[in-house]
Structure 1
Amino acid sequence: MEQLRRYGYPALFVLVLLEGVGIPTPAVSAIVAAAVLAGEGHFSLPLVVAVTLVAAVAGDNLGYLIGRRAGRPAILRWGRRVGLTEARFARAERFIAERGLNVVFIARFIDGLRQTNGLIAGAVALPWRAYVTRDAIGGVAWTAVWVTIGAVTGGNLGRIRHWLTHDELRFALAAAVVAGIALWWYLRRRRRPSGTGGSPRG
């Protein structure tokens, strides 16, 4: 918490971002601590939400890019330095293969998979558009859970009520709208017929 007080939002951003590329960091602890500090007046709660969400999605997509460009052998060679062994990678790879793209959403809530899902998704060449949509929806849910836990832990319910009844509500509504649009787009694509046969041209 002292590091967060000293370095502020950049420290929170870097810790969450690095976790998305497979580097173990105390990202969850940092989010909870930042929410507590927001209750004490050191941080802005809307900014904690924004920084966490942007860093989480950016980190996972950076991991995806690394996985896509480097490939499985390079990731395994580099991953041993941060605890990403071939056995761990293979387990996570099987988990994604068995459950399909929707596992990307819940990956954030599974320790080990949260840090590596972007790398694996890129390495196995999951379609980026499908990946980023699910990852963003998961990021919204994950951010909301840990910021709320931090706020409640810090006894900041009064501050949350104040936040929700003032201008910052627009920020929360905007985040909800973005998540809703992403979810609508995803469900619409799932309902779209997979066949290519359309109406004949006249």
Structure 2
Amino acid sequence: MDNLQLLVNLFSHAHENPLFAYAAVFSVLLICGFGVPIPEDISLVAGGIIAGLGYADVNTMFFVGLAGVLVGDSMMFVAGRVYGERVRCFPLVAKFLTEARYAAVQDQFHKYGKRVLFVARFLPGLRTPIFLTAGMTRRVPFWRFLLLDGSAALISVPVWVYLGYYGAHKREWLMSWVHVGQKGILIVLAIVITATAIIYFRRKKKNSQSSH
């Protein structure tokens, strides 16, 4: 709740300039994409609240939120693609892409392939390392990365923005549904990961049998 109120206070300076709300939301989401530990979902909810309070248009806020998410993610992917392994020497990157986390991300790619880019949108702690590593491998075309990440963002972004919009004047109701939404996303994610794992092991078993 403290993070939400802090962001709402920041964004609410929009009464001085209507464009401030959009610029503030976009900037915060861009920072989220760089691995800074600011909750992306709460940032989107705060943007929706600002729209609900009349400082911005909710539909425009949705597109601004979507743009902020995708631009931030894309910058990490492109950085990995351009600099390769050298990007791990950058001080900011070295803080969140440790050896252990890099190995874990590599393992996720090995198990689930490019589908992990869709799942990554719902994994706050691993999202940025996964996108960065995807670029570093140079085996994922940018258009495919954008397609997978964009598809996931089209699920998460409107949920949080419109939830904030409709709950702008009902904070207790809003926070209860934020928790429900977070749990719901985790449940959907668990189902997707389980289904992917089943498909992976079935294919592995089938390939093993055919090789004999």
TM-score normalised to the size of structure 1?
Answer: 0.69
2:94 is the counterpart of 1:87:
no
3-state secondary structure, aligned to 1:108: helix
Deviation at 1:88, TM superposition (A): 1.5
The answer to whether the Cα contact below 8 Å between 1:15 and 1:26 also exists between their aligned partners in 2 is no
Deviation at 1:155, TM superposition (A): 5.1
Q: 1:42 to 1:69 in 2, by over 3 A?
A: same
Cα deviation 1:51-94 (Å, max 9, x = unaligned): 0111111111111110011123422543234x332212221222
Deviation at 1:124, TM superposition (A): 1.4
User: Of residues 80, 84, 89 in structure 2, which corresponds to 1:71?
Assistant: 84
2:60 is the counterpart of 1:53:
no
> Aligned AA for 2:35?
G
Corresponding residue number in structure 2 for 1:103:
116
The answer to whether the Cα contact below 8 Å between 1:21 and 1:118 also exists between their aligned partners in 2 is no
Corresponding residue number in structure 2 for 1:168:
none
> Aligned AA for 2:156?
W
> Aligned AA for 2:55?
H
Measured in 2, the distance between the counterparts of 1:149 and 1:114 equals 23
Deviation at 1:123, TM superposition (A): 0.8
Corresponding residue number in structure 2 for 1:162:
none
Equivalent residues in 2 for 1:1-202 (5 A)?
A: 1-6=8-13, 7-75=20-88, 77-78=90-91, 79-81=93-95, 83-125=96-138, 126-154=140-168
Cα deviation 1:140-161 (Å, max 9, x = unaligned): 11212222332343358xxxxx
**More helix by percentage:** 2
> Aligned AA for 1:153?
G
Q: Count matched residues.
A: 155
Instruction: Give percent identity, aligned residues only.
Output: 28
The answer to whether the Cα contact below 8 Å between 1:35 and 1:147 also exists between their aligned partners in 2 is yes
The answer to whether the Cα contact below 8 Å between 1:76 and 1:86 also exists between their aligned partners in 2 is no
The answer to whether the Cα contact below 8 Å between 2:52 and 2:166 also exists between their aligned partners in 1 is no
Measured in 2, the distance between the counterparts of 1:89 and 1:153 equals 39
The answer to whether the Cα contact below 8 Å between 2:21 and 2:50 also exists between their aligned partners in 1 is no
The answer to whether the Cα contact below 8 Å between 2:79 and 2:135 also exists between their aligned partners in 1 is yes
3-state secondary structure, aligned to 2:54: coil
Deviation at 1:115, TM superposition (A): 2.6
The answer to whether the Cα contact below 8 Å between 1:61 and 1:132 also exists between their aligned partners in 2 is yes
> Aligned AA for 2:145?
Y
The answer to whether the Cα contact below 8 Å between 2:78 and 2:135 also exists between their aligned partners in 1 is yes
Measured in 1, the distance between the counterparts of 2:137 and 2:89 equals 13
Corresponding residue number in structure 2 for 1:186:
none
Measured in 2, the distance between the counterparts of 1:55 and 1:77 equals 23
Corresponding residue number in structure 2 for 1:173:
none
TM-align CA RMSD: 2.0
